[in-house]
């Protein structure tokens, strides 16, 4: 279960939601995957997307190709491309993104740049995703707790 954060454990065994580690890979490879599409994948395909590496240029290319093929086969749809940021906010350990700072402030949590810098890129990615207004934010505080911020 190393592929999941504690705040994701309520759905980890069923993979009914897209895990943060997969969401991270989606942003890295530039594919938008909707939850209804994810839910059309077999459990084996979901586990495969969780396990596949997506760091080197070749791995990113392979992940993208596999994902596009899975979307086509499972849904009959063409996967939607997303722009890939050259320098995404989660890679910048010197600046807390506005959405994260604002969400922390709303939750009355003090998050310092030093704390932000000590987080791994996937942890920073998670806080960015969990702080967006379009996301259900109930896991923001559990994530901060898991990451030893509060």
Q: Which of 61, 81, 101 is the last residue of a domain?
A: 81
pLDDT in tens, 97-141: 999 999 999 999 999 999 999 999 999 999 999 998 766 668 999
Q: Are residues 102 and 133 in the same domain?
A: yes
Mean of the per-residue pLDDT values of the chain = 93
Q: Are residues 15 and 53 in the same domain?
A: yes
Domain that holds residue 102: 89-146
52: pLDDT confidence band, cut at 50, 70 and 90? very high
**Domain tally, the chain:** 2
pLDDT of residue 15: 87
Mean pLDDT of 80-102: 96
Mean pLDDT of 51-65: 97
Alpha-helix runs per DSSP H in the chain: 9-12, 20-29, 35-38, 43-51, 57-75, 98-106, 113-118, 121-131, 140-146
């Amino acid at each position: 279960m190393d592929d999941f954060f504690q705040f994701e454990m309520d759905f980890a065994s069923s993979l009914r939601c897209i895990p943060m580690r997969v969401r991270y890979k989606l942003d890295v490879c530039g594919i938008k995957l909707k939850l209804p599409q994810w839910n059309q994948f077999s459990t084996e395909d979901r586990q495969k997307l969780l396990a596949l590496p997506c760091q080197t240029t070749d791995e990113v290319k392979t992940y993208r190709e596999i994902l596009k093929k899975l979307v086509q086969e499972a849904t009959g749809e063409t996967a939607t491309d997303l722009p890939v940021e050259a320098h995404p906010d989660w890679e910048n350990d010197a600046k807390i993104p506005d959405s994260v700072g604002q969400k922390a402030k709303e939750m009355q949590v003090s998050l310092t740049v030093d704390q932000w810098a000590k987080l791994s890129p996937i942890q920073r990615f998670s806080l960015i995703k969990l702080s967006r207004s379009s996301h259900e934010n109930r896991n923001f505080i559990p994530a901060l707790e898991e990451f030893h911020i509060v």
